[in-house]
A and B are shown apart, each in its own frame.
Chain A
């Protein structure tokens, strides 16, 4: 048996195709991207070596820092809301709904599987102002709150709000189901003994449930942060970075630099900066959690 499991040729037959495709399409390009950061140009006009010029430009590029700030703002807002709302929903599923929760969970989760462009187009129409009022503006008009009617997607800060609202609407169900799975794992005996000791309601949640939920909550946060920092679909489909550059995250900034301005080198530098940002924030959250645990 062992001989068969150690058969080198079989191992190669099983492993080689995947490893080849993976190395060629994923690993090699990463290295290539890093090399690009030292060059200028694109596929059509050729490449020219420029050393560290791209990084130098990056540091002094106002648009880059604006995009970075937007990425962080968006990431923080969406992460906080989708995880918090997800947690609230999950708690509701476990403590209040119990049996009916399967149906509500299915209901709350479905936006997650919808194509992002479709959802964005839907929201664009919900918040539309021209050529006719969308759902929100119509509603405001109907209750005589005409002062609030505006071009929601036409100004930077309201566009950000719509974007955040849309993404939280879409993803809170995901986190609700994710955290629900973690909550269900909390042993009933612990909850029972805590209740016998007099803990109930909010105190039960704060002092017993949340600490036990720690690891799952933590995974959810990491997953959310990584996802939101790399937002692309929602933004492109809803505002395409506009108005102007007001809602342009780093991913879109990189994309525009590559395909609108034809600067692959600079775009690669932006991509590298984004990757480092994600890594740093993930490590920071890890470090923070580790400190908490040892306390």
Chain B
């Protein structure tokens, strides 16, 4: 059993450790020494090159600019919609919920071309807004699905007490209900973060201008240009894209694991 654990540790960690080690090698080291040899020193030049000349810095900036606004809109719109679908009472709310949740089944491919056409005509191609809008819309089904579940657990008496005191439904929503589900909001935001941050298809389709590329497409372009020849900077670039998600994961791993798997189980 200990062997199994050791083997597991090896196959999980070795690639990443190897990756980071290689990023510190100079060009000559690659051609002169076997690839598993340790680097001679910490050649940070690779990292600097990847960040500036390789534009990884720009790609990071764009990823942030595309991801966080989308997360914000998705959560705000999704929360409000989930609240109206779960807490408020009206005929047809189950039907509308179904329509939203059915969106989880929609393959990206069925939506890609019409969206491209529309964005093309309104000059949103090569603008991060095309991504923000699309990410927001795509995030709604899962957000609404998860949040309706969490709203179900909110005790109605609390809401009743608030409204008896003369508060409007809006302020009750904002001041009473939201804080109660803040934990859930964090989990949902985290799960959606990984989906958006790691998106490739949408960013590949809507962005071709290198200055607007996000992490995934940027890295793809980088390795296309430099990958074959400049191993050092390529490893540095890959390490740089791996580290943020890895650090985020290490910090919040229990939450991430629970969030990502519960989203799929319920679906």
Q: Assess the A178–B103 pair: CB atoms within 8 A.
A: no
| A residues in contact (CB < 8 Å) with B | 1-2, 4-8, 10-11, 13-15, 17-19, 21-22, 24-30, 32-33, 36, 43, 89, 92, 96-97, 104-118, 121-126, 130-135, 138-139, 141-142, 169, 173-174, 177-178, 181-182, 216, 219-220, 223, 230, 232-233, 236-237, 251, 254-255, 258-259, 264, 267-268, 270-272, 274-275, 278
Set A21, A135, A177: member contacting B257, Cβ < 8 A? A177
- Closest residue of chain A to B31 (Cβ to Cβ) is A132
Within 8 Å CB of A236, what residues of B?
Answer: 200, 204, 220
- Closest residue of chain A to B144 (Cβ to Cβ) is A18
List of 6 A-B pairs having minimum Cβ-Cβ separation, nearest first? A25-B137, A18-B81, A14-B84, A29-B114, A32-B114, A271-B109
Within 8 Å CB of B8, what residues of A?
Answer: 89, 104, 107-108
Tell me the complex Cα distance, A7–B31, Å.
72
Set A121, A131, A259, A275: member contacting B238, Cβ < 8 A? A121
Tell me the complex Cα distance, A15–B1, Å.
53
Q: Assess the B35–A275 pair: CB atoms within 8 A.
A: no
B interface residue count range (under 10 / 10 to 19 / 20 to 34 / 35 or more): 35 or more
> Which residues B188-205 have CB closer than 8 A to chain A?
194, 197-198, 200-201, 204-205
Within 8 Å CB of B140, what residues of A?
Answer: 18, 21-22, 26
Contact A106 B83, CB 8 Å, known A25-B115, A139-B36: no
Contact A115 B87, CB 8 Å, known A29-B111, A135-B35, A219-B264: no
Q: Is B18 an interface residue (CB 8 A)?
A: yes
Q: Assess the B223–A169 pair: CB atoms within 8 A.
A: no
Q: Give the Cβ gap from B187 to chain A, nearest Cβ, in Å.
A: 14
> Which residues B1-56 have CB closer than 8 A to chain A?
1, 4-5, 8-9, 11-13, 15-16, 18-19, 22, 30-31, 34-36
| B residues in contact (CB < 8 Å) with A | 1, 4-5, 8-9, 11-13, 15-16, 18-19, 22, 30-31, 34-36, 77-78, 80-81, 83-85, 87-90, 96, 99-100, 103, 106-118, 120-121, 133-134, 136-138, 140-141, 144, 159-160, 163-164, 168-170, 173, 194, 197-198, 200-201, 204-205, 215-217, 219-220, 223, 227-229, 231, 234-235, 238, 241-242, 245-246, 248-250, 253-254, 256-258, 260-262, 264-265, 267
Q: Give the Cβ gap from B25 to chain A, nearest Cβ, in Å.
A: 11
Tell me the complex Cα distance, A125–B7, Å.
21
Within 8 Å CB of A97, what residues of B?
Answer: 5
Within 8 Å CB of B1, what residues of A?
Answer: 92, 96
Within 8 Å CB of A259, what residues of B?
Answer: 205
Within 8 Å CB of A139, what residues of B?
Answer: 36
Q: Assess the A125–B231 pair: CB atoms within 8 A.
A: yes
Within 8 Å CB of A7, what residues of B?
Answer: 88, 169
Give me 27 A-to-B residue pairs in the complex whose CB atoms sit less than 8 angstroms apart, sorted by A's number. Answer: A6-B89, A10-B170, A18-B78, A26-B138, A43-B117, A43-B120, A105-B257, A107-B8, A107-B12, A113-B245, A115-B197, A115-B245, A117-B219, A118-B238, A118-B241, A121-B227, A121-B238, A132-B31, A138-B36, A177-B257, A178-B261, A216-B265, A230-B107, A233-B200, A258-B112, A264-B117, A275-B110
Contact A258 B113, CB 8 Å, known A22-B100, A115-B215: yes
Q: Give the Cβ gap from B189 to chain A, nearest Cβ, in Å.
A: 14
Q: Assess the B12–A108 pair: CB atoms within 8 A.
A: yes
Tell me the complex Cα distance, A21–B141, Å.
11
Set B19, B89, B163: member contacting A122, Cβ < 8 A? B19
Q: Assess the B219–A135 pair: CB atoms within 8 A.
A: no
Tell me the complex Cα distance, A230–B106, Å.
11
Within 8 Å CB of A264, what residues of B?
Answer: 113, 117
Tell me the complex Cα distance, A86–B110, Å.
31
- Closest residue of chain B to A279 (Cβ to Cβ) is B105
Q: Assess the B194–A113 pair: CB atoms within 8 A.
A: yes
Contact A6 B220, CB 8 Å, known A17-B80, A104-B5, A131-B31: no
